[in-house]
A and B are shown apart, each in its own frame.
Chain A
C-alpha cells in the first residue's frame, strides 16, 4: 500500500513540475500578464484610486469582489471550527486547582467537591499550571500594546506600504494570543470574550458587504467606492482610496476575531475553560 501511495505521489509531483515548465519565466516581459494586465494597473492605479501601493489597489478595489469572499471564507472557517470543536455543554472537569493567595497553598478539589466562594482569596489555576515567571510575564505585557499599535499601523498604512487588513488583523489577533499564552486563557477571555469575537467577525464581513451595498444604493456598481464621494464629501478618486480603507478595517476585524476564537477553541479543547 505504501509503495502504491509513493508511486502516486511521485507521479503527481512529476506532473506538476512538468506542468510548471510551461509557465513563463519569472519576470518575463513578454508573458501575457506583463503585456496586458500589469501595464494597465501600473498606469491607472494612481489616476484611478490615488493609492501608491498597487497591490492594495488591485486587492481591495479592482478585485474587491474576490477579497470580499476571501473574508467570507475566513469567517466561515471560524464558524466551522466553532460548530465542530466547541463543546457547548461541558461536563464538569475532573478536578480543579485553586491557590489560597495569602498562604500560597495550592488545593485540589475533586469532581463534586465544594468549590471556594471567595475568589479574592482563592485564585483558580490551570491543571497544567507553570509557576509565575517575572521575565516572561512582564516581557509579554510590555510587548502587547506595541504589537497592537503596529497592527493598526499595518491596516491604516496599507495604502502606502505592504500590509492591509489581512496582515494587520492577524498581527492584532497575535497580540491577544500572546496575552493568553503569557497569562492564562481565562484572563484573555475576560478581555476579548467569545461573544465579542463572534460579533466582531460578523461585523467585519458586514462592513465589507455593507460598503458594497451602500455603493449600490448611491447609484454606483457593487463595491464601486467612487459612488461614496457625496457621502464622504471628497472627489470620486479620493473616495475610492477611502473606500479601500473602510473595507480593510472590515477585513482586519473579521480576521482578528477569527484568529482569536480559533486559538481559544483549539487550546482549550473546545471548553474555553483551561488553556495553554
Chain B
C-alpha cells in the first residue's frame, strides 16, 4: 500500500479522535466520532480485514452515529440544575 495514503488516514484518525474530545458541541463531537470510525474502517480495509472494515462502516460510522445524534437531540444546550 502507498505509505502516504496510510499516513494521511492515520493522521485523520488522530485528529478526529482528539477533536471529538476537545470540541464543546456534543453534536459536533458525535459527527467527529463518526468520521473517526470511518477512517478506522479505511485502515481495516487497507490491512486486508475487509469483514472488520464492513462491520466498522455499518456499526461504527453508520448506526452508532445515528444513535449518538438521537441522544444529543434529547439534551438541552444548558443544564437545568
Q: How many angstroms from the CA of A203 to the CA of B61 in the assembled complex?
A: 27
Chain B binding site: helix, strand, loop or mixed by DSSP?
helix
A42-71 interface code vs B (CB 8 A; 1 in, 0 out): 000000000001011001000000000000
Report the nearest A residue to B57, measured CB to CB: A167
Q: How many angstroms from the CA of A167 to the CA of B56 in the assembled complex?
A: 9
Count of B interface residues, CB-CB < 8 Å: 17
With contacts A162-B50, A267-B73 known, is A171 near B66, CB below 8 A?
Answer: no
Chain A residues with Cβ below 8 Å from B69 are 276
Q: How many angstroms from the CA of A263 to the CA of B54 in the assembled complex?
A: 21
Q: How many angstroms from the CA of A132 to the CA of B21 in the assembled complex?
A: 35
Report the nearest A residue to B62, measured CB to CB: A174
Contact across chains for B51 and A55 when beta carbons are under 8 A apart:
yes
B36-64 interface code vs A (CB 8 A; 1 in, 0 out): 00000000000100110111001100110
Chain A: minimal CB distance from B74 (Å) = 5
With contacts A26-B47, A55-B51 known, is A166 near B59, CB below 8 A?
Answer: yes
With contacts A167-B55, A267-B74 known, is A177 near B66, CB below 8 A?
Answer: yes
With contacts A55-B51, A166-B55 known, is A174 near B63, CB below 8 A?
Answer: yes
A163 within 8 A of partner (CB): yes
Contact across chains for B47 and A162 when beta carbons are under 8 A apart:
no
A79 within 8 A of partner (CB): no
Chain A residues with Cβ below 8 Å from B70 are 263, 266-267, 275-276
Interface size, A (range): 20 to 34
With contacts A263-B70, A267-B70, A276-B73 known, is A170 near B63, CB below 8 A?
Answer: yes
Chain B: minimal CB distance from A248 (Å) = 13
Contact across chains for B50 and A174 when beta carbons are under 8 A apart:
no
Within 8 A of B (CB), among A160-190: 162-164, 166-167, 170-171, 173-174, 177, 181
Closest 7 CB pairs of A and B: A267-B70, A162-B50, A170-B58, A266-B70, A55-B51, A162-B51, A162-B54
21 contacts between A and B (CB under 8 A): A26-B47, A53-B51, A162-B54, A166-B59, A167-B54, A170-B55, A170-B58, A170-B62, A170-B63, A171-B58, A173-B63, A174-B62, A177-B66, A263-B67, A263-B70, A266-B71, A267-B70, A268-B74, A269-B74, A276-B69, A276-B70
B→A interface (CB under 8 Å): 47, 50-51, 53-55, 58-59, 62-63, 66-67, 69-71, 73-74
